[in-house]
Amino acid sequence: MNHSMEALQLVPPERGDLDLEAANAELEGADAEEIVRWAAETFGERLVMTSSFGAHSALMLHLASRVVPKIPVIFLDTGYLFPETYQFAEALRARFGLRIEVFAPTITAARQEALYGRLYDGDEADLARYQEINKLEPMRRALRELDAGAWLAGLRAEQTSFRSGLSTVTVQNGIYKVHPILRWSKKDVVDYFDLYDLPHHPLFAWGYRSIGDVHSTTPVAPDETDDRAGRQLGEKRECGIHLPDPEAQASLKSSGL
């Protein structure tokens, strides 16, 4: 049963004083739109979101922009994205009127490879360096420069074992994270796309279901049940930016944010 927004008892918190247990209890049973609205009213202008502009990114962008027009959308440009990803981002910017905030590494891909080689083809230490340069440091910088107090993320529990243990509202490295579609199934995602006639990433039609950097993304077989089977960076299937610091270096399978 969905909660009314009146029942959620919104009280805008200062950094660090939100009662997570109470917040998650209040949001139990709330639908995705209610959760986004709760986050907007709770965190105000300090609410941001991330997007990889990947296979299913139109869903969260549509959902969030309907409730919070002009929410800052953090787009990490690693320098290794598919051309279609940049084109898709521009198409969605125009369609939804998005406020996209692009953050890139402080060192270009060409310079990285000249100095360090192809880190993404290396051992776990190389992969840790790759993630730090291209994802973790730009993400920390984005949250700092945007003075983010909370972050909307489109993670779903069934995607990875780590995500299956998340709550709707969590704290990661001093930033609140809100997961509006955490309990959604694949069918829920398909139904939402159909209801609003949303576009997939152009490569989705070619078998790419989870789309990240060109060197770590491959198509998957039609009968493959794991959408993230096409991600080929590191030992696990979780992106470092979605993990607490101690786990970030140990779980380097790139995700779609």
Predicted local confidence at residue 223, as pLDDT: 58
Instruction: Residue 153: name the closest of 179, 172, 187, 133 by CA.
Output: 179
Cβ-proximal residues to 250 (8 Å cutoff; 6+ apart), any chain = 236
- Dig out the tokens for 30 from the structure: 């709330």
Bridge partners of 49?
73, 152
- Cβ 160 vs Cβ 228: under 8 Å: yes
Rounded CA gap, 135 and 49, in Å? 15
- Dig out the tokens for 37 from the structure: 């609205």
Predicted local confidence at residue 219, as pLDDT: 73
- Dig out the tokens for 57 from the structure: 């990114």
Instruction: State the SS3 of 232-243.
Output: CCCCCCCCHHHC
Rounded CA gap, 99 and 69, in Å? 8
- Cβ 194 vs Cβ 77: under 8 Å: no
Intra-chain end-to-end CA distance of the chain, in Å: 29
- Cβ 112 vs Cβ 119: under 8 Å: yes
Say whether 239 is catalytic: yes
Predicted local confidence at residue 59, as pLDDT: 97
Q: Of the residues 239, 241, 248, 252, which is catalytic? A: 239
Q: Please, what CATH class does the domain formed by 19-248 belong to? A: alpha beta
Tens-binned pLDDT, residue by residue, of the chain (257 aa): 333 333 333 334 554 579 999 999 999 999 999 999 999 999 999 999 999 999 999 999 999 999 999 999 999 999 999 999 999 999 999 999 999 999 999 999 999 999 999 999 999 999 999 999 999 999 999 999 999 999 999 999 888 788 888 999 999 888 999 999 999 999 999 999 999 999 999 999 888 888 889 988 877 756 555 555 545 554 444 445 555 554 433 333 333 33
Rounded CA gap, 127 and 135, in Å? 11
Rounded CA gap, 105 and 174, in Å? 22
**pTM of structure:** 0.81
- Dig out the tokens for 226 from the structure: 């794991």
Quickly tell me which residue has 């704290």 as its tokens. 171
- Cβ 256 vs Cβ 211: under 8 Å: yes
